[in-house]
Structure 1
């Protein structure tokens, strides 16, 4: 008798002009990850179910393929592949935009590859957040979506529930990022090795990037999670979070921990450290400035929390994973 495993469904969107190589490549990548995970014979590892969703000009996308036919369930993630021909701003059908927003509101992580990030921008979900896109689209992207912090020089921006990538072939790294979240870094690394593709994410060497649980079904808590992700969990308090949820503080605490597996303070620490990791990798700001930017008035407390979560001090982390030289301090 086989081991009964939970199912995690990953949707791949097919829209007019979508790069089918990415659609089928992601499907194969998750299939390889499933096979490697099965070798571990662990009921704790979910089965990755891949579904394809066909979009047209007038209707919400329809499911046209399942790698493992099963009763319909909520998507854990929705991936939007690139378009070789280029996807123009303002061309997204309203029904498709509504459907994308619905998947996010239901707890799905959204991932946009290259110009696929334009669909996420059109949805408004990236407003007030950081994102990246293909360099050929960067100028128009920045002009059309001024509420989005565009980091076009970054290959991937992982903002927890919203992930964007800059390269046409970056669908492989996005797929591996989700394998890392759902099956663990060792299986992600083994999948990359089997497919002979690069997987240089710092998460595989220094603890996984924080992957919040979003598919728990508690709408009030999910609302707070999206709010925290958008503001970086800076200058928040239990009372403010409770108000966002519309719950009494004691009820909020109980439901938040039941839904996310973490206390609100722990959850906020993970979000802040995630932001700090990105700044340490891609900017040359001082560590004290980064601590302040992510919500810590005491740099010493930031250093302690950072090492507790990542296993490295901020300076060691930058030395290992930073792509720019550290700023000189006087």
Structure 2
């Protein structure tokens, strides 16, 4: 029998649902597999730094069955989400970071949920590999771990025994993915039906909200950002915008990318798509009307940019998120 470790990091900001959810789904997969084949695939244990961890201001507590010092070998490790406390959690869980590195090099496979990727990356296990995490933490992740190939649109990445996933409750998709990998497809399908989880979902782009990265020190770039946000519906030249600040287009592009993580064109496209998303969600305007209002005049170009950024066509996005479709 293989051993499955669900980590219980220390720190009040950690996410209880991804610990409990992983435990419940893997336990059900074990029960299904045992009924069919006479044995379980995993021995499942919660493992942490301490005998008890308090979450959500003491409202809930988790009692790991073992500490990391008591567990010398495991086969699969689940790192839960750290919510928005990922920077603090990396510092508080330095011993877990070292333990993850040691276990991976002993043959364990490791899966991180949402911002749990910060612990995984701190262990150096993501260097040179692809990774996903919650879209809202993408900038901080890139700043701290530049050697990691962050694929923020992806819900699941799978590379060399390392698995990561996007944000919030998309961890359910990762757990179903792992059930299929370590049990079989039929067990995964039954678990997905029992827990009502959509199978084979692989993109989180439609959930992202673009707010624009302004936590930088480049005043020219910040002024350019504000101009774009105020005039995105107008037809203006990015070269002319660079000229307003007496910098060359090449230098403007370089500074903009360094400060925001986007080229000026990408930034403008994201502003326009974010505005289009809001109109598609809450107004009765058709796609053509929305297209013109956010600064596009070509249907093919608008559809292409919208789908690249959100993963959905404008029509599909409206069908999923418009208020009338949700009633």
TM-score range, shorter chain: 0.5 to 0.7
Report the Cα distance in structure 2 between the residues aligned to 1:31 and 1:165, rounded to whole angstroms. 20
Report the Cα distance in structure 1 between the residues aligned to 2:21 and 2:144, rounded to whole angstroms. 31
Report the Cα distance in structure 2 between the residues aligned to 1:55 and 1:197, rounded to whole angstroms. 31
Aligned to 1:100: 100
Aligned to 2:75: 76
Report the Cα distance in structure 2 between the residues aligned to 1:151 and 1:133, rounded to whole angstroms. 8
Aligned to 2:197: 197
Report the Cα distance in structure 1 between the residues aligned to 2:164 and 2:187, rounded to whole angstroms. 22
Calculate the aligned-residue CA RMSD, in Å. 2.6
Aligned to 2:154: 154
SS at 1:88 equivalent: helix
1:199 to partner: Cα distance: 1.7
Choose the corresponding residue for 1:36, options 32, 35, 46: 32
1:86 to partner: Cα distance: 2.7
Aligned to 1:177: 177
SS at 2:128 equivalent: coil
Larger radius of gyration: 2
Aligned to 1:53: 47
Unaligned 5+ segments in structure 1 are: 1-6, 57-62, 203-322, 326-330
The two structures have a TM-score, normalised by structure 2, of: 0.53
SS at 1:64 equivalent: coil
Tell me if 1:18 matches 2:8. no
1:39 to partner: Cα distance: 2.4
**Counting helix residues as a fraction of each chain, which structure ranks higher?**
2
1:72 to partner: Cα distance: 6.6
1:120 to partner: Cα distance: 0.7
Deviation sequence 1:23-76 (CA, Å, 0-9, x none): 111111011111211221356xx43221111226xxxxxx9328xxxx977311
Deviation sequence 1:231-253 (CA, Å, 0-9, x none): xxxxxxxxxxxxxxxxxxxxxxx
Aligned to 1:143: 143
Correspondence list, 1:1-330, <5 A: 7-15=1-9, 16=11, 17-42=13-38, 46-55=40-49, 64-65=64-65, 74-88=73-87, 91-200=91-200
The two structures have a TM-score, normalised by structure 1, of: 0.52
1:171 to partner: Cα distance: 2.3
1:157 to partner: Cα distance: 0.9
Query: Which ranges of 4 or more aligned residues in structure 1 deviate by more than 3 Å?
Result: none
Report if the CA contact (8 A) 2:84-2:115 is conserved: no
Aligned to 1:219: none
1:184 to partner: Cα distance: 0.5
Q: 1:92 to 1:164 in 2, by over 3 A?
A: farther
Q: 1:8 to 1:201 in 2, by over 3 A?
A: farther
SS at 2:64 equivalent: strand
Unaligned 5+ segments in structure 2 are: 51-62, 203-310, 314-327
SS at 1:169 equivalent: helix
